[in-house]
Amino acid sequence: MRILGIHGSLRKGSYNQALLEAARGLLPDEVELEVAGLHGIPLYDADVDAQGQPEPVLALKEKVLRADALLIATPEYNASLPGVLKNGIDWLSRPPADIPRLFGDRTVGLIGASTGLRATQLAQAAWLPVFRVLGLVLWTGGQFNMASAHQKFDATGRLIDEDSRARLQKFLSGFVAFAARIPSRRT
Ligand SMILES: Cc1cc2nc3c(=O)[nH]c(=O)nc-3n(C[C@H](O)[C@H](O)[C@H](O)COP(=O)(O)O)c2cc1C
């Protein structure tokens, strides 16, 4: 199984990127997790889109198409989803004719880390209508939120909080079982 992890933060020390890296280490050997960022993806501009989608957008689309499932690691900004990640998903959703092959029936898991105490719960809730309109199949059998992320990784980005590791492992095992049972429709 091939999972594409997308993190919605551009900063070098992103806890959401580190969360995906930690997830990679907790998955069984037969499950591959590729971690993708959104560097190089410009702000959505329909005029640019009309002249042809930028190369980083096309490259991300190819990664999505190769994946059996998506794992989104979302930061929380001002009690909602972050613009960087929404902008990336917005590019992927154009032209609308691409939505079924990119997102339709594709399984997705949602996780997030924040330095605040809300632990991305509001960001994750804000993604629900977006996933619904795109036709993604969200695994809802478990949740993974991380508060106070700055206390849970070491200086190299390794997840050192044992409770978080255990909760992430439990989330991943349920998500992988779901993705295996309900495979994304492959193009
Ligand atoms: C504009 C902005 C708004 C933020 N709003 C929230 C928030 O509403 N809730 C929260 O828990 N953290 C909030 N934070 C703190 C983020 O959780 C923190 O920056 C986190 O490290 C972002 O994820 P990253 O490490 O993957 O970049 C905010 C940060 C920024 C820059």
Nearest to 60 by CA among 24, 98, 97: 98
- Structural element, H or E, at residue 186: none
Q: Which of 77, 84, 124 to mutate to test the pocket of ligand 1 (most atoms within 8 A of CB)?
A: 77
Confidence at residue 185, expressed as pLDDT on a 0 to 100 scale:
62
Q: Give the closest residue (by CA) to ligand 1 atom 16.
A: 114
pLDDT single digits (tens) 99-157? 999 999 899 999 999 999 999 999 999 999 999 999 999 999 999 999 999 999 999 99
pLDDT at 182: 78
Q: In angstroms, what is the C-alpha Rg of the chain?
A: 16
pLDDT tens figures, 2-37: 999 999 999 999 999 999 999 999 999 999 999 999
Residue pLDDT, tens place only, 67-108? 999 999 999 999 999 999 999 999 999 999 999 999 998 999
Nearest Cα to Cα of residue 70 among 35, 40, 39, 95: 35
Ligand 1 pocket test, candidate residues 9, 78, 114, most atoms within 8 A of CB: 114
**Distance (Å) from CA 24 to ligand 1 centroid:** 23
In this structure, the residue with its CA closest to atom 20 of ligand 1 is: 114
pTM, full prediction: 0.97
Q: Report d(CA 4, CA 32) in Å as an integer.
A: 8
3-state secondary structure 106-147: CEEEEEEECCCCCCCHHHHHHHHHHHHHHCCEECCCCCEEEC
Q: What is the pLDDT of residues 44-66, one digit of tens each?
A: 999 999 999 999 999 999 999 99
* Residue 32 β-bridge partners: 2
